[in-house]
Amino acid sequence: DIQMTQSPSTLSASVGDRVTITCRTGQNINTNLAWYQQKPGKAPQLLIYEASSLESGVPSRFSGSGSGTEFTLSISSLQPDDFATYYCQHYHYFWTFGPGTRVEIE
Amino acid sequence: QVQLVQSGAEVKKPGASVKVSCKASGYPFTNFYTFWVRQAPGQGLEWLGTINSSGGATRTTLKFRDRVSLSRDTSTSTVYMEMDMLTSEDTAVYYCARARGVGNDGTYPFDHWGQGTLVTVSS
């Protein structure tokens, strides 16, 4: 299995802040990486695929970058609806999720 | 529109089995791989396995290879996840999800998800 880490595990921020979450993988996965947002009691929602492609319907304040073993998810100006947990996922032959980053109100 | 509708909540005793269904609609079912993911209370997401909705071939993560079986019924566009020998550690919400693309052995992220099925294992 490819190991996945995310940092930070919890992020405290305010509306309007720019936030960045980092995901690292244990081996090179090229750009086979996705980001999801999950709110309590709901299924995850795909935000970014192929490391940097924005899923249809996702606000443009979300962006992704990276390749190989290090990736980032950025939110340019945090909105009230963005307080949630974010997961990275690789889909390089198999599928593994990162442990998650909870974005909470500061 | 694409929909994945899962069966209802289950309560099982330790050692029992559970079978969760996921009925797909709004897209050509056999063109897309389907996945199963679970989430224990307060925990993260864990991929369980994948099924080729057309040919029926499956891949299961090593941890569950002896206890999880995946199947599908193309006549009803439904996939099933059965887990045996349940313990309290299997208490979780189980999700089905669809691959974002076609072919390529299903190596895509998941673009549509079911609503989740809570499986509670308790004596």
CB A99 to CB B108 under 8 A?
no
Confidence of residue B104 (pLDDT cuts 50, 70, 90): confident
The pLDDT tens digits for A59-105 are 999 999 999 999 999 999 999 999 999 999 999 889 999 999 999 98
Q: Alpha-carbon distance B16 to B11, whole Å? A: 10
Q: Which residues of A touch B114 (CB under 8 A)?
A: 43
What is the distance in angstroms between the Cα of A79 and the nearest Cα belonging to chain B? 23
The pLDDT tens digits for B16-27 are 999 999 999 999
**Residue B97 identity (one-letter amino acid):** A
Distances (CA, A) of A37 to A89, B23, B59: 11, 23, 25
Q: CB contact, 8 Å: A66 with chain B? A: no
Q: What is the pLDDT of residue B106?
A: 82
% of chain A with per-residue pLDDT over 70: 100
**pLDDT higher than threshold 90 for residue B105:** no
Q: What is the pLDDT of residue A101?
A: 98
The pLDDT tens digits for B44-83 are 999 999 999 998 999 999 999 999 999 999 999 999 999 9
Q: CB contact, 8 Å: A91 with chain B? A: yes
Q: What is the pLDDT of residue B25?
A: 97
Q: Alpha-carbon distance B122 to B119, whole Å? A: 10
Across residues A31-60, what is the average pLDDT? 98
What is the distance in angstroms between the Cα of A68 and the nearest Cα belonging to chain B? 17
Sign of the C-alpha dihedral, residues A74, A96, A50, B111?
negative
Lowest-confidence segment of A2-6, A47-51, B11-15, B105-109 by average pLDDT: B105-109
Mean per-residue pLDDT of chain A: 96
Q: Which residue on chain B is closest to A53 by alpha carbon?
A: B109
Q: Alpha-carbon distance B38 to A49, whole Å? A: 21
